[in-house]
Copies of this chain bind each other. A is one copy, B any other.
Amino acid sequence: MSQVHIGPITGGSLTSVPGFKAAGVACGLKPAGALDLALISTAQPCVAAAVFTTNAFKAAPVLYDQALLAHPEARISSVIINSGCANACTGEEGLQDTRATAQAVAQALGIKADQVAVMSTGVIGMRLPMAKIFTGIEKASQTLSSSTEAGHAAARAIMTTDTHPKEFAVRVQAGSWQCTIAGMAKGAGMIHPNMATMLCVLATDAALTPQVANQALREAVEESFHRITVDGDTSTNDTVLLMANGLSESKAITSLKSPEYGYFLQGLKRVATELAKAIVRDGEGATHFVEITVQGARTPAEAKQVGMSVARSPLVKTAIYGEDANWGRIICAVGYSGVPIEPEKVRLWLGDLELVRGGKPYHIDEERASQLLSQRDISIIIDLGMGQASTTVWTCDLSHEYVNINAHYRT
Give chain A's interface residues, CB within 8 Å of chain B.
Answer: 54-58, 86, 88-91, 123-125, 189-190, 231-236, 312-315, 318-319, 321-322, 324, 326-329, 331-337, 339-341, 343-344, 356, 358-361, 398-400, 402-404, 406-411
**Chain B contacts for A56, CB-based, 8 A:** 334-337, 339-341, 343
Residues of B contacting A337 in the complex (Cβ-Cβ under 8 angstroms): 56
Interface of A is mostly: loop
Q: Is the CB of B89 within 8 A of A313?
A: no
A344 — nearest CB in chain B belongs to which residue? B91
In this complex, which of A232, A336, A341 has the most chain B Cβ atoms within 10 angstroms of its Cβ?
A: A336
Known: A329-B124, A361-B125, A406-B314. A324 touches B233 (CB 8 A): no
Docked-complex contact B332 and A235, CB < 8 angstroms: yes
Interchain CA distance A146-B117 in the complex, whole Å:
73
Contact residue among B314, B334, B404 (Cβ-Cβ distance under 8 Å from A57): B334
30 residue pairs of the A-B complex, CB under 8 angstroms, read A54-B336, A56-B335, A56-B336, A56-B337, A56-B340, A56-B343, A57-B332, A58-B335, A89-B331, A90-B360, A91-B344, A91-B358, A91-B359, A124-B327, A124-B328, A125-B328, A125-B331, A125-B356, A233-B313, A236-B332, A236-B335, A318-B403, A318-B407, A322-B406, A322-B407, A324-B407, A324-B410, A326-B409, A326-B410, A400-B400
Closest residue of chain B to A398 (Cβ to Cβ) is B403
- Per the bound structure, the CA–CA distance linking A283 and B231 in Å amounts to 19
Known: A232-B313, A235-B332. A403 touches B400 (CB 8 A): yes
A55 to B, closest residue via Cβ: B335
Contact A403/B399 with A336-B55, A360-B89 known, Cβ cut-off 8 Å: yes
Residues of B near A124 (CB, < 8 A) are 327-329, 331-332
Residues of chain B within 8 A of A190, CB atoms compared: 315, 332
A220 → B minimal CB distance (Å): 22
CB distance from A139 to the nearest CB of B (A): 28
The reply to whether A321 and B403 contact each other, CB–CB distance below 8 Å, is yes
User: How far does the Cβ of A40 sit from chain B's closest Cβ, in whole Å?
Assistant: 26
Q: Roughly how many angstroms separate A313 CA and B322 CA in the complex, as a whole number?
A: 22
Residue of B nearest to A320 (CB): B407
The smallest beta-carbon distance between A194 and chain B, in angstroms, is 8
Please determine whether A343 and B400 come into contact, CB atoms closer than 8 angstroms. no
Listed residue (A123, A335, A358, A404) with the most chain B CB atoms within 10 angstroms of its CB: A335
Report the separation of the CA atoms of residues A91 and B400 in the bound assembly, to the nearest whole angstrom.
35
Structural contact, B335 and A57, CB atoms closer than 8 A: yes
| A360 (CB) vs chain B CBs: closest residue | B91
Please name all residues of chain B whose beta carbon is closer than 8 Å to the beta carbon of A409 when the two chains form the complex: 319, 322, 324, 326
Given contacts A329-B233, A331-B57, A332-B235, contact A125 B314 (CB under 8 A): no
Chain B residues with Cβ below 8 Å from A324 are 407-411
| A407, B321: Cβ atoms closer than 8 Å | yes
Residue on B nearest A339 in the bound complex, by CB: B56
**Pick the contact of A322 from B55, B314, B359, B408 — CB < 8 Å?**
B408
Q: Is the CB–CB distance between B332 and A233 below 8 Å?
A: yes
Cα of A54 to Cα of B338 in the assembled complex, Å: 9
CB distance from A237 to the nearest CB of B (A): 9
Name 8 extra pairs, CB < 8 A, besides A318-B402, A319-B407, A326-B409. Answer: A56-B335, A56-B343, A58-B343, A124-B332, A190-B332, A233-B315, A236-B331, A403-B403
